[in-house]
Structure 1
Amino acid sequence: MTTTQTSVVHDLGALAHRLAHPAGTPCVCEPPQVLADRPDGTVVRSGAIVAKAHAADADREALAARIALAAAPGLTGILLPPLTAPEVPGTAGEIRHPELSGDPRDPVPAGHAAVPGARPVTLWPLGTPVDPADPGAAPWAEAAGLLARLHRTEPPFPLPPMRGPAKAARAVARMCAALPGAPAALPVLAGWHALPAWARGESPPSMRRDRFLCHGDLHLGQLVRHPAPDGPWLLIDVDDAGTGDPAWDLARPAAWYAAGLLAPEDWSVFLRAYRSAGGPAVPAAGDPWPVLDVPARALTVQTAAVALAKCAAERRDPDAHEQLMIESCARIATLPPELASGPAS
């Protein structure tokens, strides 16, 4: 861990701890706990308070709009609301993102801050995450229902585009930087170049598919029960949320199913629950793959690119699951679209 990262973790912990235990309040909890520590998201918990430092290069106004979205009354019961959020006077472009100096003893205006490295900070209530040790209890139906409700909700104010395609492009760039010219990256690049421009973040989707409210980075790690420990499931992490093609939010489980990583019965539960809740991303009946094909391929490429970048950083070979996604990239680059998205044999 670098000195800057250590400083960010320390200051986040101090901030969360101070807010969880106001002056004069006895402290009986454990020391601040690091939940995640990456350049694009450092998360520290103290008591019932969670502080998150976002990416240093985050668009401040876009982030403020996304945090305001999580606090919007129309999203109650779908998105975990922040402890406080910027006001929305009419358009996302008018939202001002307040900042705090790196000193955790300073006041906290509107629940937002900046820590060393100029990373904006947001504050959240604690939720109970999905238990990775209990895959049989994975809330696929609940996740699908929340997505359907999100997609059916009219955006309450102007929002930036959903960052799903941009996130995929960033993953590929990260892989190329970590493995310049490496043969191991060729299948992933082949899959990437086979995608249409909109799925690579190089052009907007069709007008018919760009107006829906989307999460932008759906996976089971994006759900928590709130209030903890056994409240209803809610979606978290709105860093990539915005308007766009709702099929993108179904793309990761679709890609896992196509690659053989998600059991057919789990995929059926997810898809059936989404359709039952009136989700607009796929037709109400019939084959969903004509709509899901391109987003699922894009998420396959993104997953494989991230895996290869991590392998390079950790100086190791891909594990079995990572290798399966890399091989899927070669597969989707060579087969016709109507054959590329079916489950692996």
Structure 2
Amino acid sequence: MALIVYVDDVLLASNSLQDIDLLKKFLDDQFTIKDLGPLKYFLGLEVARSHTGISLCQRKYALDILQDTGLIGSKPAAFPMESNLKLTIDDSEPYEDPSAYRKLVGRLLYLTITRPDLAYSVQVLSQFLAKPTVNHHKAAVRVLRYLKATPGQGLFFPSTSELQLKAFSDSDWAGCIDSKKSITGFAVFLGNSLISWKSKKQATISRSSAEAEYRALATTTCEIQWLIYALQDLQIDHSQPTLLYTDSKSAMAIATNPVQHERTKHIQIDCHLVREKLQEKLIKLFYIPSRLQLADILTKPLGSLPFHHVLRKMNILNIHVHLEGGCWSLALHMIIWN
């Protein structure tokens, strides 16, 4: 049984409907509650379930953003950011309404809860909140035009997915023009279900691409360890190593070779962390070609074809398009305190 509380809203999830009914009766006896039945909508998240799996999206929230910004009738875009776009701090004249830009980026940030396809773009736009320029706003409008094309897109969790953690780790060396810091991106799957991801600028400057890739490996390893603890809390046994894929042979060599090389002396803590988890068999490293690296979408802007190829592999889809006419029921139960 999992019980999630936000102020006076409570979500219940269990593999036993009988246990849910018993807990709801107990809570109603102790505090007066109102049973809203199977979960449909919660804090902007729309939840639907069928025999094929569970879908999470924020369609209404996305349409509200488009309506409020006056772009509900804009021309749709196939992907959120041009592949050759490199935004900088002072690349054009200041935008006339910085507060509106900040509000928009904040709303887009909340949208990334179910939209990993927006994570990289929103991460880039978030770097210019202090002094947004006209070009930064144009890039944000492009994201909204992509949103116009895909308002109902979200995560899909197949019901037949196996209980095997798989992770993809990647970095874009010196991806930030202003600071020369690299971008870390990772995507973690439980079977075929994407359950965790990140697109974030690294805290320190990496002196080589191998160092940047290795820092990304360390960040991904920490996330894997946290997910293992979360699965244990839910009484789910995951004794096998997590499969961790990287497209950097240099980073793999550093992780598996105990000898300290000249290029690794700046990242010794990360080296010890990853090697320790390798020895504990928490993770198992595999090389994957860059063209098959799913975390690419979280480290750099991709063109239309590679962008949509990764989305399909990540099970990011729009049930309003892909499953139109299917029979969808709802998975969780929601109650509120009276």
**Structure 2 length-normalised TM:** 0.28
Q: Which one has a larger percent strand, Structure 1 or Structure 2?
A: 2
More relative contact order in 1 or in 2 (CA 8 Å, sep 6+)?
2
**Structure 1 length-normalised TM:** 0.28
Q: Which one has a larger percent helix, Structure 1 or Structure 2?
A: 1
